[in-house]
Amino acid sequence: QVQLVESGGGSVQAGGSLRLSCSASGDPSSRNSMGWFRQAPGKEREGVAAVPWLGTIIYAESLKGRFTISKDNAKNILYLQMNNLKPEDTAMYYCAAARALVVGLEARQYDYWGRGTQVTVSS
């Protein structure tokens, strides 16, 4: 089993920044790859960024340049640095983990999910 706990969400004005954290615990072999997703009210969950065990970091094309994903393997924490936030970034942000060594940004590729942390950006 894997446990994922997100933190760092909040309310900011447009142009501001937030750093989300995801603390991971449990079977290391079940969380080889990790990623961030988000879901806005009335919309489908979408992939934001991922750190595959094999391969390079992946970003949603529309978020490149503003969001940065990183991972501290010693602390088992996944981060998402979000800069120049826009009202359309308002969503619940979820951390996800996968047993697979290669993943993309499709939710079905991930096996474990956190409960999410809310990000609200006002104009």
pLDDT digits (tens, 9 = 90+) for 14-60: 999 999 999 999 999 999 999 999 999 999 999 999 999 998 999 99
User: Cα 59 from chain centroid?
Assistant: 10
Query: What pLDDT does residue 50 have?
Result: 98
Place of tokens 């060594």: 101
pLDDT of residue 38: 98
Strand ranges of the sheet holding 67-72, from the earlier edge strand across to the other edge: 2-7, 18-26, 77-82, 67-72
Confidence of residue 86 (pLDDT cuts 50, 70, 90): very high
